[in-house]
A and B are shown apart, each in its own frame.
Chain A
């Protein structure tokens, strides 16, 4: 009950006209900035942090929350329309979203992303509001062993993400792992796989890698095709709004994505990035239309977008309750809080009651502002695709270059972009999917750190994998998840065989 009263108080201050104006302004700024390739939520907040200084903490935080939501959605827009993800979560959206846009379904893709983000974001904040104290305990049963298993499971599942050869998906994962290990070893600070180049010691930036793999091959291929091949590509632009079928197909993924995203988001260090990948994998696994995945399945946009936003809400739980940032973006939020003199942690709910509930209330409002502002704009964004092809794709190349420059500010960063662009093109030629590599790049530090911690703690023994209840459960689920479908398929094919025999 106290929660409700506090939340009411929060709403009272967040609903003041000035606060509302800041929420809307934040969403608008965030969307505009997030649309620029290479500028995901992290950079958007970083770039716009100075704007919020000199404001009242409440207003500044409301503004930043709006920027955060806006830029996340902005990233989905570029991922969908020009296959240029600005951050991990929208890398997943780029898979199905772009395929939808190619088929003239860009509007539906953006709409399902916006609505899914809104619903999941709202659900997650409700979860944050009422379940925080219970859920924070979840973080305490997840030790290094469980994290390692979770990461390993995620990577195994990632090999089922893409259509086609399993071996090629595994190669993709290993490419991601290989690239992710470049740089200084987290544990010892020793350089690894830098081939003697100091410049490589900071590793390969995720955004550069993702932009290079997704956007560059697509742009180069389209430009190299020349005019003769102009028409076969897409019905870009002839767009329809979400149909009744789209709504029906999106509802389930929204709901499942919200739950998956929220739970994964709570785990510190994992955050929303894994959530969106997991949601995609799950939607693909349970879908009756598996064949549509990779060709613009709306479930593959609705689920991950919901999971991503729910994951953000989930990540706020360890942030607020323990002062532990669950993702890069929450780490940045933590930084912002501390700059306002707030110390997130167990005491924040007691010491800063008014402020914290205003922030939570402003998240609700930011979410609403997002959907009010962006749904009408969907049509405008989609119109951008009607530009002549050479102009569209050459602009994308320039924007991607700016994105890479804004990350590294060096010739080296630009060259990495070019080199990985070539690698991405060759991967595409060889039929190696991109998305598993991107997930692997994100997960490899977590996988390796926790593997090393697990063995360091156990003194080199693998026993904790089966002696700890939670890890044992994960293993059982994993085995069931792999063996189960095989048995199921065998059973189905046997029945079919029997049926065939009966018919004949």
Chain B
């Protein structure tokens, strides 16, 4: 995904969130105070709309400039190559972590060797799957209990990653769950859900 599209989508999403947030402020009960409970949320909602639209607009403008420039140079540059006004910074690259984005004020000179190459972006499908597993864990934690759900969750994650080491995974999953449970419940009196084992 290009920086242009990322910014366009991000900006649009932020503007929509801002709009929803702003609409929600209408259900705040008004009072006679000078600054009512609604004032700040409303400002924040409008701020989000404006910033979202600005980001999307900025991306669109830069994209057009780039397309024009590209027609001349033929380079495969994206919005990132557009010079920005002081401190305005570049649009972050496709979000492959902030590592790629150099601070504009000095980034032009190139960044020394400490910058790691950007970590590759995982496939969307896999991320969704990981989050799905995580939510399943969150959902079953209380009804099923900490020990069972945690052991299962850890086993699942580690087995997807390294299925051939299943013995190690099993030992780790069970041991980790038991040790953590013991530490919290008996050491700290923070009671984790017992669930069906209770």
Binding site for B on A (CB under 8 A): 33, 36, 39, 47, 50, 102-103, 160, 162-168, 170-171, 174-175, 177-178, 181, 185, 187-188, 190-193, 195-196, 216, 220-221, 223-227, 229, 232-234, 290-296, 388-391, 394-395, 397-399, 401-402, 405-406, 410-411, 414-415, 417-418, 421-422, 425-426, 428-433, 444, 448, 451-452, 455-456, 459-460, 485-486, 489
Q: Is the CB–CB distance between B92 and A164 below 8 Å?
A: yes
Q: Which B residues are in CB contact (< 8 Å) with A421?
A: 131, 134
Contact of A163 among B89, B135, B146, B190 (CB under 8 A): B89
Q: Which B residues are in CB contact (< 8 Å) with A294?
A: 98-99, 101, 103
CA distance A48 to B86 in the complex (A): 51
Q: Is the CB–CB distance between B90 and A432 below 8 Å?
A: no
B176 and chain A: residue at smallest CB distance: A395
Give the interface centre of B27, B33, B120, B157 by most chain A CB atoms within 10 Å: B157
Taking A395-B176, A433-B98 as contacts, is the C-beta distance between A225 and B162 under 8 angstroms? no
B88 and chain A: residue at smallest CB distance: A166
Can you list 7 A-B pairs with a CB-CB distance of less than 8 A?
Answer: A47-B188, A164-B92, A192-B37, A294-B98, A399-B180, A451-B35, A456-B33
Taking A174-B51, A418-B135, A431-B6 as contacts, is the C-beta distance between A165 and B92 under 8 angstroms? yes
Q: Is the CB–CB distance between A431 and B91 below 8 Å?
A: yes
Taking A163-B98, A178-B21, A395-B176 as contacts, is the C-beta distance between A452 and B33 under 8 angstroms? yes
Give the interface centre of A47, A165, A389, A451 by most chain B CB atoms within 10 Å: A165
CA distance A176 to B13 in the complex (A): 16
Quote the shortest CB–CB distance from A161 to chain B (angstroms): 11
Interface size on B, residues (CB 8 A): 94
Convert B110-147 into 0s and 1s, putting 1 for each residue whose CB lies closer than 8 angstroms to a CB of A.
Answer: 01101111011011001101110011011101100010
Taking A164-B98, A223-B157, A418-B138 as contacts, is the C-beta distance between A232 and B120 under 8 angstroms? yes
Q: Is the CB–CB distance between B40 and A429 below 8 Å?
A: no
Q: Is B75 an interface residue (CB 8 A)?
A: no
Q: Which A residues are in CB contact (< 8 Å) with B190?
A: 47, 402, 406
CA distance A391 to B153 in the complex (A): 12
Q: Which A residues are in CB contact (< 8 Å) with B122?
A: 221, 224-226, 229
Q: Is B195 an interface residue (CB 8 A)?
A: no
Taking A165-B88, A295-B111, A455-B35 as contacts, is the C-beta distance between A226 and B131 under 8 angstroms? no
Q: Is the CB–CB distance between B98 and A162 below 8 Å?
A: yes
A216 and chain B: residue at smallest CB distance: B134
Q: Is B29 an interface residue (CB 8 A)?
A: yes
Q: Which B residues are in CB contact (< 8 Å) with A192?
A: 25, 28, 37-38, 41
Q: Which A residues are in CB contact (< 8 Å) with B88?
A: 165-167
Q: Is the CB–CB distance between B138 and A415 below 8 Å?
A: yes
Q: Is the CB–CB distance between A398 and B41 below 8 Å?
A: no
A426 and chain B: residue at smallest CB distance: B13
Q: Which A residues are in CB contact (< 8 Å) with B127?
A: 220-221, 224, 425
Q: Is the CB–CB distance between A296 and B114 below 8 Å?
A: yes
CA distance A456 to B39 in the complex (A): 14
Contact of A292 among B31, B93, B114, B177 (CB under 8 A): B114
Quote the shortest CB–CB distance from B60 to chain A (angstroms): 13
CA distance A493 to B134 in the complex (A): 51
